[in-house]
Amino acid sequence: MFRASPASSQIDLFSNVEQFLRALDQKKLNDPNAWQNVFLDQVTNRIPEERFAELFDDTTGRPNAPLRLLVGMLVLKEGFGWSDEELFEAVHFNLLVRRALGLMNLTDEVPVESTYYLFKQRLYAHQVETGENLLKDVFQELTREQAKRLGVVGDRLRMDSTLLGSNLAACTRLQLIIACLQVFWNSLAPEQQARLSDADRALLERLCAKRPSQHIYRLEETAKHAWLEELGELLLRLHQTYDAQSSPRYPLIERLLLEQYQVDDSNEATRVTLKPAQEISADSLQSPHDEDAAYRKKRDETARGYSVNLTETCQDDGLNLIIDVQVEPATAATTATSKRRSPTANRCSRPRQKRSPPTAPTTAKPMRPTPTSRTKTSITPASPASPGATTSSAPRRASWSSTVTAASANSPKSTSPVAIGFVPTANGVTSPTKPLMRPPRDGARSISRASSSIAAVTSRRASSNSSTTPETRS
């Protein structure tokens, strides 16, 4: 059941942190320009919890944990680059982190791990069902309020892009196919597995007994090629036997078959042949655990993951805010991302006013009029764009059968939320009037760029946190 929480806990006489500190430490802890107090004032206390009310029942159930605390934990985790274990350790024992989240007393309770993971799962399920990214909407609202409150003018913007690698292991084609088969086979119910022949079930059980790297460790190139051909036939039989109702991971098999193999169904017997490596596109499946990641090589940098484009205000003096973060597969071109103007950028920016020329003094002599030119100037109106001039891009993949659709079309798109415009520095002090151009030198990533990976946590990888145990790494 949804219940709004207070902005911060009430100070207790016996468990308040400040009474155990020296006067100098109290002064540092309560410094209004220190990062923990700036974060508490600009983020934690201003998170609109009512935006998340639709994730909970209106009348029944246990009241929810403080939602502003959970959202603040998500931001701090990505801002400092913590793992889940490091996050909970800091929330329990780091006084600055507790102050940033509004935990004023030593006895204030922190949400347990299961509550944290359940909140992320509900965010992901809500986005899959409705297409609405609640975290993105909340961060855009926070950024708009910060721009108004701090006097940030968006008449000039700058953009930059970078490649962000996903937390997945690089694998060969054979490893990828074996890993996808393992994921699909384990997702089937026992009654669904019984629909397959005994030989295919035995093969899949043998594949699931080891990790993909252990299967190919001693194989020669000819044996690897033979395995690829055999597994292609197995993929075709799985595609013909099952459908999307059998397993939620069925699109994984469908996409893998479409991208890695050439299927010829012109004759009575359908043939499956392995595609040459040169014909595999860069946006093909890279891992069964992150279906949206793509491959790209940019100059000397290679990445299996995403392309992140940041939009920031560009004032010579004063504070600058990151007003939009766009996350696309790594194959997305930078020019295509920069052409899409963010709604937040449109709301935060206003056109620069032209200055009128100075008025001549009244005592000055009137200027002699310039003789009128006798040359006639003809103005030709620009021809309107023809209706058929719109550019239409070809489909990314050609379907070999009417029943085959690219699984990427079914995967939800996620866009990272707008970031917050202040940075925790090495000494823990942040001046809100200073322009924030780069992360601190001590290696800690700025909270202003924290939100670029929250979308990957909340909308692309939240399903992997279905258990209450700490996060697992690929």
Mean pLDDT, the chain cut into blocks of 10 residues (474 residues total): 74 80 91 94 92 85 87 94 94 94 90 94 92 92 91 88 82 93 95 95 95 91 94 94 94 94 84 90 89 83 85 88 88 58 50 46 45 39 38 37 35 39 40 37 42 46 44 38
Say how far residue 441 (Cα) sits from the centre of its chain.
Answer: 25
Comparing CA positions, the residue from 195, 179, 193 lying closest to residue 231 is 179
Whole-angstrom Cα distance, residue 435 to residue 438? Answer: 9
Cβ pair 462, 289 in contact under 8 A = no
Can you give the pLDDT at residue 419? 39
Q: What is the DSSP string of 221-267?
A: HHHHHHHHHHHHHHHHHHHHH--TTT-TTHHHHHHHHHHHEEEE-SS
* Residues facing residue 325 across a β-bridge: 310
Cβ pair 107, 42 in contact under 8 A = no
Q: How many helices (H) and strands (E) does the chain have?
A: 16, 6
DSSP state of 450: G
Can you give the pLDDT at residue 8? 66
* Residues facing residue 140 across a β-bridge: none
Q: What is the DSSP string of 4-55?
A: ---SSPPPPTTTBSGGGS-HHHHHHHT-TTBHHHHHHHHTGGG--GGGGGGG
Can you give the pLDDT at residue 119? 94
What tens digit of pLDDT does each residue of 442-466 get? 433 444 444 444 444 444 444 444 4
Domain ranges of the chain: 173-279
Q: Is 131 helix (H, G, I), strand (E, B) or coil?
A: coil
Q: What's phi and psi for 225, nearest 5 deg?
A: -65, -40
The structure's pTM equals 0.60
Can you give the pLDDT at residue 355? 44
Over its C-alpha atoms, the chain yields an Rg (Å, rounded) of 28
Helix or strand holding residue 306 (H, E): strand 301-313
